[in-house]
Structure 1
Amino acid sequence: MEMKPTIKNNLFKALAFACSIQLIAYSSSKAQQTEIQYLSGTGSDKTVNWQFFCTAGRNSGKWTTIPVPSNWELQGFGKYNYGHDKDSLRGKEQGLYKYNFTVPANWQGRTINIVFEGSMTDTEVKINGQSAGAKHQGSFYCFTYNITKLLKFGKKNLLEVTVSKHSANESVNGAERRGDYWIFGGIFRPVFLQALPVEHIAHVAVDGKATGAFTAKVKLSTATQADEVTAQLYTMDGKKAGNAFSATIKAGDSVAMLQTTVASPLLWTPEFPNRYRVELTLLAKGKPVHVIQEKFGFRTVEVRERDGIYLNGVKIKFKGVNRHSFWPATGRAMNETRSIEDVQMIKDMNMNAVRMSHYPPDAHFLNACDSLGLMVLDELGGWHKAYDTQVGSILVKEMIAHDCNHPSIVIWDNGNEGGHNFELDHWFDELDLQQRPLIHPWQVFRQFDTQHYINYDYGNDTHLHGHKITFPTEFLHGLYDGGLGSALEDYWELMWRHPLSAGGFLWVFADEGVARKDKNDSIDNDGNHAPDGIVGPFHEKEGSYYTIKEVWAPVHFEQKDLTAAFNGHFRVENRYHFTNLNQCRFTFKLASLQNGNKETTTGTVTVPDIAPGTTGAITCNLPANWQQYSVLYVTAYDAHQKEIYTWSWPIKLPSAMAQTLVKQEGKAAVTVEEKDSLIIATAGDVVISFHTTTGLLQMVQNGKGFIPLSNGPILCEGETGFVKWNTRKEGNNQVIAAEFQKKSLCQMLEWTVYPSGWVKMQVKYYPKEYETSLVGINFSFPESIVKSIQWVGNGPYRVWKNRMKGVTLNAWNKEYNNTSTGEGKLVYPEFKGYYSNLYSMKLITSGQPLTVVCNNEDVFLRLFTPRFSVTPFNTAPVFPGGDLSFMHGISPIGTKSQKAEKMGPMGQKHMFFDYWKDPMYAKDITLFFDFSGE
């Protein structure tokens, strides 16, 4: 197809563009360098004020200033819009920019480019009143103009930029501006000048294979005098790698190909991100004309049909997340510090990959992935709609030219969820020297099935029941506290074991809530569209963060209980791809938790040769008295001394701790009387009453006043079948025992009141049905008086039935909060919800505290009912009645697009068969309450 002249020119510029900041001249050379002069700041943390005029919306119709780079909505201009907004509600304002700059006089005689790393959306550039070139369309792509002939050297120059938030090209609006994310306007990435020799290296693409074979494709601006390109590879600490190599060029040549081989190079992997640099010199009759350098990594990406994705010959499972370039206070304007922090957080969750959603990221984010080790899926924009072929061809060329040398990029994405223009596929195949695989996220395309939001083990000749490589580029769609960590263990164990699975990518890294300048910087999630993250908008860590960290830990512990026969051995599976576990470091700690005693001891762990993909035993070198402690912690550190995870195992069970906490002795025996439909037990100044008709606790009082625990125990599901109370004495104690109807759900309820004012409650019961949602007992307690909780058990985060990992056995303290995950004022960890493996708890209130000690293992504490959104989809799980519950079975949580029962075995209802009310199978909860007021 014949293209218009302006399109041809832009395509040529995209190919000729020297990959911005990466093409920096080697300073020690006598050759002319590529010099950079920033006109804007370098990021959202270092900006430069330009003159600015907004044509509509807030603060429009007047000239003022704006920091560049930035999105103008976040600076108080124009109109906020989410991509789902109706066209009639969209802000279609323009931003007019002016900036005066001086070009050094000694730049005369060179080629001067102006480079825009990213501008939203249509961008027209003038220098000194003259057009720099054709309008650029497309928000997330680096573009450049040769402005040599428009400049006044050694004098002031005027830059004028007109940015249209809404594109004149409808395909651009469809691909970028109607996506499921916030849409902004403005010059949001840096702008700078490049000064190059007239004859220069315009662009270089490199390919370093795992074999050590290296190829460089060098594009030349002109070749009238230059006759040779030489190259030398270096390690990152400056040592030569192999010998110099070169290629001759003839007058008029536009491309030079250089090749060499390095013996046994250190390879780039996400576990060991080894990199090299190549220094390329353009020469004319032996004299250097232009010198540049480029960083790269030796690595080979290979797709084996009906098998999997291989990196350096090793089959890979991707543990990935989708990531927007976003910060609440700056929109899409980012900076290097934020990029590094994002990569560090992603790696801290034991992920090895990240998918760009849904556009190419900042260069500094890719640099961080290169150096810290994350595999990247780099994506051409397109959300349900695609760029047309003319504009799309320009943009895909710009993306590949800008990003092609990053070793972290292992796969290209052409659009997302239907936003695929098949006519653009050939550009990826033809322009990428490294020949990376190409996918269409959400489609079955080439060797891949990348369907999104699949149910567990879903498929009809697709997914894991088909023959394609299964590679969901979005799964477990987060919303509020649902998805993400919830059900991940089920999915991941299936993915890990299945040979056709290449892993997948969670949706999404962070809530994309905007700090609205027009609403006192309050966070706007556009309803339920944006609170999808593992972390909050300002990267507050939600519970799923630690669940993912444990589930995706490359050290996988075989389930084990610590009994008296424990010898310190743990069987572990090495789920790394390139790291032997003996390259990692493990430590252990023993701690005592009862009575607030934090006595600890630490020690070493012996780790033998456990190669990737194999299983072996590690040994904690425990002291002889290890059984005196409450809990054993094992911490693993990777080869770079970063913590992988800390696991905990109980040594003493709740019953052992209860023996040390519960006091029975008092000054006088307990008395019981029946009065006004109440059974009243008295122990000193402690008075406890139970209703003779309902069988429920009515009131607790001591010398200091009331403890407002009441209305229990009530079964979470079903009726107890209470008939009457019977009482008996056991020494100085008084037992108040319930009698139930034959074959009722409740088989036993006994309250034992001790002279000390402590009370023991034992309940034996059956769940209501074979399949049931909630299993346990409830009490009432006024949430309004609660200030904090101290507890021993798993924490500090709450759990769901299908999100049990990511918590640690310890003694915890937490202030009350009413956080609704992902909405309003965020305080994490949330206060209300389910907590696993309860040992003891103490509710601190505005009155007397409530202390409860549990005698059973695997009991959940239900702490009030969390506040859920009015539009929660599947993320408002069922909760029992009452306020406090002690439970054997809790509810799972779903995702934005899936009910919990569709997400694997852990999302199913509890299944329990009582063998026709055989007492042997009754569930047992024994609790001790301290009503003494001490």
Structure 2
Amino acid sequence: MSSQPNIAWLADPQVFAVNRLDPVSDHIAWPSAEAASRGTDNPLRQSLSGRWAFSLADNVDARPEGFHARDFDVSGWDAIEVPGYMQLQGFGKNQYVNTQYPWEGREALRPPEVARDNLVGSYIRDFTFTSIPGTGRVVLTFDGVETAFFVWLNGVFVGYGEDSFTPSRFDVTGLIADGENRLAVQVFQRSSASWIEDQDFWRLTGIFRDVWLEKQPALHLEDLFVTTDLSDDFTAAKLKLAMKIAFADPGVRVEVALSDRDGNWVVAPQNFAAAEDMEPVFDVASPDLWSAEAPNLYDLAITLRNADGTTAEFIAERVGFRRFEIVDRVMHLNGRRIVFNGVNRHEFNPVRGRAVTYEDMLFDVRFFKRNNINAVRTSHYPNQSAFYRLCDEYGLYVIDEANLESHGSWQKDNKIEPSWVVPGDRPDWRDCVLDRGRSMLERDKNHASILIWSCGNESFGGRVIYDMSNWLRARDPSRLVHYEGVFHDRRYDGTSDMESRMYARPGDVEAWLKDDPQKPFILCEYTHAMGNSCGGMHLYTDLADKYPHYQGGFIWDYIDQALALGDGKGDRRLGLGGDFDDRPSDYTFCTDGIVTAWREETPKVQEVRALYQPFAISPAREAVTIRNRNLFVSSAALSLGIRLLKDGVAVFSTTMEPEIAAGETATVPFDLPGDLAPGEYAVQASLCLKAKTLWAEAGHEVAFGEHVFQVEGDVAASAPVALKPIRGDLHLGVETPDYSALFSEIFGGMTSLRADGIEFMRRPPRLTFWRAMTDNDRGRNHGFDCAVWQAANLYYKRGPVVVDAEGDEPSVRYRFTLPGLAVEPEVTYRVGRDGRIHVTAGFPGAEGLSNLPIFGLQFTMAPAFDRFRYYGLGPEENYADRCRGARLGIDERSVAGNLTPYSVPQECGNRTGTRFAEVMDENGRGLRFAAEGKPFEFNALPYGTMELETAERPEELPPVTKTVVTIAARQMGVGGDDSWGAPVHDPYNIPSNEPLSLAFSVVPIGLKGNS
């Protein structure tokens, strides 16, 4: 036990914990069962969170010396909130980097050297302590401190800790006194630990989790390890408890009981004489098994009684009976093959950073459940204990990941260069790395939700991580061990019990699955959700039904890591990497979430929810086939709703309650109305909750399916409309009873569409060949590869014009020439006797050119036309490769609300399968665009393509001066295998050598009875 701190410890990887107690389980001790039932104000625990005195030093040499003395004057110091981060409270600079180390280019370092640029935060907390009778020991716990820290109590050195994301516990029994006490902490931004905490996140510093004191009775449960040993037929179990107990007096006893959710005894109270190490075993008949589908938990009650029979301590734990194992190279939970429909989750809040609140955690867990996400990987560090308790209770499978990442030591600019890997095979790093695995396991071992221990993330391979994996297996054979990095270093392939990959393309995954796989396969990170992304995700999820060794994946990631620039209330601006003058920086790469930093759902969730749904629903005209993908639960808690839409409008509905067992498929018949009028119909089937649950209200939709069919028949034709063509030298004008139109030979299109004194054309419609690049487009150098189409979009010119003013339906055909390209698209406007303007656009195709981003027409309207109504796929934005979650219907919203709040403006708001779209003002006046033949893709935004393309942040977008309506024959998919090179998959690209055609009509509505 060291009595004096040594600043040299910061640079020594073999010194990572001084005077720190051994890690133990995260069980909570109460003075009695009654106190535990109340659940608040635990007399055995005293929080030291709150406002602390604080002083910031720019480097180690400038830190205040002697500040830990009892009489040190802190009257001139600042104040800081604990838990919290220095940088987010105005002390130091925010910095975001991904793989590179934060000192890259500032200092030439190699491990374990520590950067000179090393913020030091000095904290003081004065508090009052009152002991309680029978206290045997007082333990001071720091649940999380980034990155290294020294602690003093009442002027006496207590200890030193690293590993930011697991508790550091110190025995302060002989240092604390009744009455006033002073706790002093010095937190260092950098240490040797920084080399193995190179996660893709904001580099923040401080005491960011709770600090608390535990008054441990003389009779105390120090550690608890609960395991459940299930029989091979899963009808019986043995509950095994490994307990370490501290006591001084003879005659003390331990009472153990287990009850079910209704309070019935499963194991009646049993009494034992206390021993330092106890391993009682209890038989449990017919246990209700735990899974994410049915998170059955039992209440374990452990009472420690003094020799006189009084309660010294009461511990309440939730126990889930389950078995997780590999059978025939496939992972099984409770005897059945499991598929992880997962997501990676950083602890994050835009105001508090990784100092998340219980409310944040609760929101996240409920969000996962509502959106059919059944699994979470704690990327890339252990989370707060409360999160695992929520996962136990709500039902989520967890990969618990050790705090280890050294990405910048072996990968530079996406190239593998492992010349100086840490930890690699370096023996001087072995103990600190194994300690991180040990600290994680020992704290979290009693959570049923945790199925897999992970050795960390993106730290290459080597002997050290292999040793960690073996230690994890030896300590806890009931779980599997994960580590993706063996893909880069096959010398220690046994480090991981499963083959784990990141961002492997679907074809590569399938090739591996076909090649006699010797391990189960997961994608620990996939479908990179940066900006407008998650296209082609179904190419992964479809593999689950084809290959038993494919067992799912974890989306990267859940939440955008963007920091609040304002108060988060009236001012919702967000800052990304580089916005804080942080250099080096990886800029916008911190925003890869399916929700925004404010936890707003993005349209990507619509696709995730559908692809992860636990029932495959396939309606037809007279029946719906439902396959229950669940492993353990039937559809009994759900009702089946059938809805029939005609041309987007509901005309019939019915509800049924079929019960389909787990793993079974059933076809449920239903009767639609007999005589259906001609039109397009959609049968929509939904499985919805019958009753409210912990995570959703009654009526919440769990799964959905749709079938579209056509009823043919004659549709009454409207009376012909009188047309008056007016041929000028440079224009063709056409007057109808409801509107007038003007087509210009000079400007190459319809320059006017006027009715009741309202002009609907701000500018002539323009051909569009370019979309505002998405993050994925930028990452794959789409701008470089497809620059000809941006030039074509901006600079094409009018060619020959053919005007037919003499025919029954006047028309104008325009041909256009594209800069440097031997291709001439055409646009034709024809004013029909049906009163509509019929528009066709044709792209003839051209050889030798890159794929076409989009082909269509853009209409510019006044900003008063600020809302739209459409009949197509929705309700959220969707694209050719991200429309499995969309459904047919009529939806309406504002033009401004169609601008998805991606952290960097980009292409957004598209709707595929559009039959008609109406863009209107507040009085319902506007234009109706209707597909002729096949549906088109539709968008309406308050900005043009180049305004979105050039703005780096939403607040850089200009004031709204227009509404831009896009009617497209096709737009390429958004892609999303990764955001740094993966192309859009071939079926969702637009080969430029193939012809494209677009046909639709446009007509004013809302004027003089028009409809």
Report the TM-score, using the length of structure 2 for normalisation: 0.77
Partner of 1:918: none
Q: Distance in 1 between matches of 2:337 and 2:732?
A: 69
Partner of 2:204: 184
Partner of 1:579: 633
Q: How does 1:705-854 map to 2 (within 5 A)?
A: 705-708=758-761, 711=764, 714=767, 724-726=802-804, 730=808, 734-736=809-811, 749=828, 751-754=830-833, 758-761=836-839, 773=852, 776-782=855-861, 786-808=865-887, 809-816=889-896, 819=899, 821-823=901-903, 832-844=909-921, 849-854=926-931
Q: Distance in 1 between matches of 2:31 and 2:388?
A: 17
Partner of 1:890: 971
Q: Distance in 1 between matches of 2:448 and 2:55?
A: 41
Instruction: Select which of 142, 151, 160 maps to 2:184.
Output: 160
Matched residue type, 1:800: Y
Q: Distance in 1 between matches of 2:1007 and 2:847?
A: 39
Aligned CA distance change for structure 1 residues 584 and 722 (closer, same or farther; 3 Å): farther
Aligned CA distance change for structure 1 residues 236 and 845 (closer, same or farther; 3 Å): closer
Partner of 2:93: 79
Partner of 2:170: 145
Instruction: Select which of 298, 310, 332 maps to 2:321.
Output: 298
- Say if 2:905 and 2:951, in contact at 8 Å, map to a contact too: no
- Say if 2:25 and 2:444, in contact at 8 Å, map to a contact too: no
Partner of 1:557: 617
Aligned-pair distance for 1:34?
8.1
Q: How does 1:19-98 map to 2 (within 5 A)?
A: 19=26, 21=28, 25-27=32-34, 35-41=43-49, 48-56=50-58, 62-83=76-97, 84=100, 85-86=102-103, 88=106, 92-98=118-124
Instruction: Select which of 89, 111, 134 maps to 2:137.
Output: 111
Q: Which moved more, 1:284-293 or 1:699-708?
A: 284-293
- Say if 1:456 and 1:903, in contact at 8 Å, map to a contact too: no
Partner of 2:592: 532
Partner of 1:876: none
Aligned CA distance change for structure 1 residues 512 and 683 (closer, same or farther; 3 Å): same
Secondary structure at 1:542's aligned position in 2? coil
| Alpha-carbon displacement from aligned partner over 1:122-178 (angstroms, at most 9, x marks no partner) | 12222222222x30111111121121111223x2222222222222xx1x10122x3
- Say if 1:683 and 1:755, in contact at 8 Å, map to a contact too: no
- Say if 2:147 and 2:206, in contact at 8 Å, map to a contact too: yes
What is the total number of aligned residue pairs between the two structures? 871
Aligned CA distance change for structure 1 residues 574 and 129 (closer, same or farther; 3 Å): same
Q: Distance in 1 between matches of 2:19 and 2:327?
A: 34
Matched residue type, 1:678: H
Aligned CA distance change for structure 1 residues 645 and 220 (closer, same or farther; 3 Å): closer
Q: Distance in 1 between matches of 2:500 and 2:227?
A: 27
- Say if 1:320 and 1:352, in contact at 8 Å, map to a contact too: yes
- Say if 1:792 and 1:841, in contact at 8 Å, map to a contact too: no
Aligned CA distance change for structure 1 residues 34 and 202 (closer, same or farther; 3 Å): farther
Q: Distance in 2 between matches of 1:644 and 1:336?
A: 26
- Say if 2:520 and 2:551, in contact at 8 Å, map to a contact too: yes
Q: Distance in 1 between matches of 2:210 and 2:713?
A: 63
Aligned-pair distance for 1:496?
3.3
Q: Distance in 2 between matches of 1:351 and 1:587?
A: 22
Aligned CA distance change for structure 1 residues 332 and 700 (closer, same or farther; 3 Å): same
Matched residue type, 2:225: A
Secondary structure at 1:473's aligned position in 2? strand
% of aligned pairs identical? Answer: 19
Aligned CA distance change for structure 1 residues 23 and 417 (closer, same or farther; 3 Å): farther
Partner of 2:582: none
| Alpha-carbon displacement from aligned partner over 1:307-365 (angstroms, at most 9, x marks no partner) | 32111011001010000111011111122111110011122221110000110001111
Aligned CA distance change for structure 1 residues 518 and 529 (closer, same or farther; 3 Å): farther
Aligned CA distance change for structure 1 residues 909 and 579 (closer, same or farther; 3 Å): farther
| Alpha-carbon displacement from aligned partner over 1:228-262 (angstroms, at most 9, x marks no partner) | 5442111234221134456656xxx5321111121
Partner of 2:222: 202
Aligned-pair distance for 1:901?
6.7
Secondary structure at 2:525's aligned position in 1? coil
- Say if 2:564 and 2:574, in contact at 8 Å, map to a contact too: yes
Q: Distance in 1 between matches of 2:540 and 2:271?
A: 50
Partner of 2:728: 675
Matched residue type, 1:443: V
Aligned-pair distance for 1:749?
4.9
Secondary structure at 2:285's aligned position in 1? coil
Instruction: Select which of 655, 659, 672 maps to 1:604.
Output: 655
Q: Which moved more, 1:347-356 or 1:76-85?
A: 76-85
Secondary structure at 1:426's aligned position in 2? helix
- Say if 1:797 and 1:835, in contact at 8 Å, map to a contact too: no
- Say if 2:295 and 2:394, in contact at 8 Å, map to a contact too: yes
Report the TM-score, using the length of structure 1 for normalisation: 0.83
Partner of 2:777: none
Q: Which moved more, 1:695-704 or 1:134-143?
A: 695-704
Q: Distance in 2 between matches of 1:604 and 1:456?
A: 38
- Say if 1:687 and 1:700, in contact at 8 Å, map to a contact too: yes
Q: Distance in 2 between matches of 1:22 and 1:768?
A: 74
Partner of 1:919: none
Aligned-pair distance for 1:394?
3.1
Partner of 1:469: 520
- Say if 1:38 and 1:193, in contact at 8 Å, map to a contact too: yes
Aligned CA distance change for structure 1 residues 223 and 40 (closer, same or farther; 3 Å): closer
Partner of 2:479: 436
- Say if 2:869 and 2:890, in contact at 8 Å, map to a contact too: no
Q: Distance in 2 between matches of 1:109 and 1:587?
A: 60
Q: Distance in 2 between matches of 1:825 and 1:892?
A: 17
| Alpha-carbon displacement from aligned partner over 1:695-724 (angstroms, at most 9, x marks no partner) | 743433345143217655858599999773
Q: Which moved more, 1:141-150 or 1:814-823?
A: 814-823
Aligned-pair distance for 1:846?
12
Q: Distance in 1 between matches of 2:356 and 2:36?
A: 33
Aligned-pair distance for 1:932?
8.9
Partner of 2:562: 513
Partner of 1:341: 363
Q: Which moved more, 1:611-620 or 1:517-526?
A: 517-526
Aligned CA distance change for structure 1 residues 543 and 465 (closer, same or farther; 3 Å): farther
Q: Distance in 1 between matches of 2:669 and 2:47?
A: 59
- Say if 2:684 and 2:704, in contact at 8 Å, map to a contact too: yes
Aligned CA distance change for structure 1 residues 86 and 822 (closer, same or farther; 3 Å): farther
Q: Distance in 2 between matches of 1:603 and 1:697?
A: 47
Aligned-pair distance for 1:375?
0.3
| Alpha-carbon displacement from aligned partner over 1:644-693 (angstroms, at most 9, x marks no partner) | 44647586879999x79x97665xx2122432143332224733233569
Secondary structure at 1:701's aligned position in 2? strand
Aligned CA distance change for structure 1 residues 384 and 638 (closer, same or farther; 3 Å): farther
Matched residue type, 2:138: I
Secondary structure at 1:51's aligned position in 2? strand
Unaligned runs of 5+ in 1: 42-47, 873-881, 915-921
Secondary structure at 1:329's aligned position in 2? coil
Secondary structure at 2:390's aligned position in 1? helix
Secondary structure at 1:194's aligned position in 2? strand
Aligned-pair distance for 1:752?
3.2
Partner of 1:400: 441
Partner of 2:490: none
Matched residue type, 2:83: P
Secondary structure at 1:359's aligned position in 2? coil
Q: CA RMSD in A?
A: 4.2
| Alpha-carbon displacement from aligned partner over 1:598-630 (angstroms, at most 9, x marks no partner) | 776542135253x33333223455455776896
- Say if 1:792 and 1:812, in contact at 8 Å, map to a contact too: no
Instruction: Select which of 697, 701, 705 maps to 2:754.
Output: 701
Q: Distance in 2 between matches of 1:156 and 1:777?
A: 74
Matched residue type, 1:26: A
Q: Distance in 2 between matches of 1:9 and 1:798?
A: 49
Aligned-pair distance for 1:56?
3.6
Partner of 2:260: 235
